[in-house]
Structure 1
């Protein structure tokens, strides 16, 4: 162990004894040979000039022979380095022995000792440590011989001092210097290997970075602060229409691109994102995105050809304009529809003072079903059109008139003090309603039901006023066809308050159940389910989801309700996943839940616990909520989409949805609201709206689900229009989730939900 330690300490192990660089050996050998050659050349000349006795003649011959041998070794070193090195060591050994035994001359004796003592060091330079060690051991004989000669007073120093100096020279030249040279050679070798590894690593990294830069997937270039292009990949060269990349490298980016906005600084490449035009083709739009500033003060720019996106945006805007006209106006009468009417009324309410008075009126043509049956659809539509024109001509320009649906019309009337009396207002309404209409030369008597509500400056909205009108309309009779909203009906608000109190308790006790309604393909096979909330009261009855969901939203209970339902649904889905029932379930979310940090954190934690959840749970976004335009909602939806969730926009066309929302929300499913489906297939206007909506969705690579399908004709029409998935009572009513999970999920498995 101690010997091995010494080997490791002095670096004389097998690994350290590896041969070093041949170029170094050749260089060192030539230095030794050249220097020795010069010395012996001088010695030879000196000896022949003063050769006057036999001893001097011997030196002259020896030096001349040595000079010749050195010349031969120097020539041999060009091709046979090891052989030349061995010959040099033998020559040095022979000369050393010659002068060692030349006892008559002290200088020659010393030269011989030094030559022999230096031999291990020279051997170590060209051979392994073992060869040097053998030479050192042989020099022990030289040491003993020299000590023996010291007894003869060959030197003038004291005997003990001479011995010590001789041993010191022996140890220095035979042991210390070879070990030191070994250490130096080893260090040089290790350093050279390390440098070589660093070079290969640097070269490999450089090639890797070159490959990454070339295959980033996007046109990319590198420029300095002044916009001079330093590097670019092939995609950038092709995008900038340069036949030769070398033309681009070294040129200014201003030579190829021009920012569109004049307000943009001319150093546009220093901005995070800039829209530019290609100078060689002004029709091509290119967005320049600066991804980072490198350590060298350079900019990495990513280029994106947005020409196609601009064209698509213009096409989508045109489609939006068409859909807007279709969705805001009634196609038959050209009057505002329900949604647009509510919007106009709300704008009027916001713009008027607190002392503004008015009334909302809903007019229903009573006998229209009989007329439709008697005269047919076309003449019935002409009756509606003539009625709309007559009513519009009899009302003032300040009146907002709309066709809600079917034979229902709505009017918002600004009123003076005279008409705040119901009798006077009834007279005004009767005078505005045509008692007869002429159709094909025939007089047609008209009969109506009217519901009226006064505006009381209580921050009511158009939707509230229409709701009150609908309530009043229920109380109209043939004897008294004009019914006014009774303030006593406000006890319904108290009833809603009581429902709210019970709802709080029901949510705390987790008494809201999940029901499932199937969503099917055109062939009737179940594709997925929609999870619906149902609340059964203690008396066995049900509270309408429309009622308690709205109350929960008003009371801020939606996040807690959604949390309870979500946890229950995920537990069921976990069982389905174990049973290999791979049918997704759609879960409705409104803005209030998504804005709630605790609910969003719960949803993300469930995603982490169940990696398969993104495939089994679809998120339906109810876009009727105004908060759906909030940027935080968009950010969180993008995060959910990145985790694999399918995002569906529910009730499309009835609320906040727009093309801007379709861009901001990462949705891949579009649900057509039942209000657009219920008039099908008779209503051509709704067919056009549904058709354009499906076309829009397909252009955005979105799937389409139609809700509220109740007849086979509706299902057949929607399938022919390209609708992917169908949902409605025609295929199946909502049913408790227990029906699908009882008996080890027997019903689910019977319906081929297992894949």
Structure 2
């Protein structure tokens, strides 16, 4: 009964939190009418009986008419709120005027005006302000009338006096002003208080989001600007301020500090585009890129200074003869570049009368990197130039020499008549190369690697044999095999790898890759989380190993695209779980370059800001090796992700070279111990001590420890004795498809929340003995 009354008076939690004025006014209206009917019912009934006893039937008619008007107002409140409100105000005015006009006790009759004076207060809660002002003005009429009229009013010679009239009037005034009006005002204040609390909460969320956005904005590795639609700079990070030489003490418009370099650019909003070249006030050349438009209609830009590149390009284009040299010869060594060298070989093969086969060799200088680090790049250029002069001096005149790029040079020489001399001849050329060169007053030892192949007597496709040399060079190693001849089998394997890469890119664009799931459990085998593992079924029943997929993506430069696929699919899966009420955490594997990539990092920040629930159920795993090989910038970005709420796990811990100081500096929350730690557990005493030390290390750093590769129950029980409570491995479950896991009992979405919790805590049946 009480719940129905709350719903009728719109006092439920949903109604109280509503910011609709229509809801508030309807609630106030029903509270006043209902309390008036319920609380004054006894008074009305008693006065009607007393009037009946003395034969004052007109009083009974007046009383019933008022009660009927209130009942009609209550009925009309369901569909006609305005009519119901008008009836209520009419009833209040009528009650006051009845007491004033039909009660002969003048002092008592004046109390009727209190009902009239309360009408503006009720109107303020039910009608717009202009209606309330009108009622206030109307109230001046009875007020002035009362001031001027000093004797009892006898209207139509009608009287509603009863023996207990003074009691009835005071009781009605008491109930009206002590219950009806306060209850309705309390209803209004309740909504105002709740709305104030919600506004305060939303304001705090906005402030936290703004603080995070400012941190990400400032830590961007590029100069970044935020402007309004006319181009006025609203915000700029420190890199942009230094590049544009601004202080932002006053409003600055892009059109006042930037001028489009090309007259074809539109004048008003020339900056809205990609790769727009502009001149700054100090004549520097920058490229401006419009990268995003915010929901508020503001623009985000990134700037890059290309003044040095344009200056270099200008110097190259000033001399037409120098352009010809650049097209044919390497400016540092004055040797033919690769394109010109290929034309020279082709022409030589066409002109030679004896039509002899030749040997094509790519030479790579091995230790130039260490030399550059010790002496600088300018000294390294000097070394390369000196090497080119020395090689031309020591090699036979029939050997043609060119430079490919960097530390790679190319040689061609006609072969001796006997085919068996191929290996010996390449070795003889190798031995003729200078073993040392004088650099800055000391002799520097040089090391080389050869990639060689045999060219036919006549060939128009020199590029094919250059590619064979490149393939052979990949198998050369100065310490074990400095001279590598082209191997068709190795070349075929490389071609197969390139084909695999193309198929992988196509499969990624067609979203043919998928995520399999493997549970993480506690020591009792109860599931608390899942790890998403990448799978690619190249052909039906033929899966490419996940490590191979990641290796190819890293080697050929699309690891970030692959990680974006994993992230998007994981977010899709977690969203589906959330809609079904499934309480599982999902971890995904990322690589170091993913965090460095600005767009991928921005995607993570956007997810944390617009889907804050996601940071509690999405865990990011990075291998120990990928972390220690990255720059300080990655550690800073990991810190930002941790502040956003993401849980960070160090995967394959123990296989890399992470120091304790690095481990303490990383904002990680979890260590995943590599399966190699369990190889000889528990028979190997030393291995057990290492495992114990690692567990204690994780506890001392307040890190959660998960042991991978648990395959036997003996390992599980031993790990429990050592204090390790989180595990993962084939003992509990192998990785399997999402559809497989969704068919399991712990994913039964038809259960109640208590049953889902019970099923989630049910042990997973071990797969291995």
* TM-score clears 0.5: no
TM-score of the two chains, using structure 2 as the length reference: 0.35
- Give the TM-score of the pair, scaled to structure 1: 0.36
Larger Rg, first or second structure (1 or 2)? 1
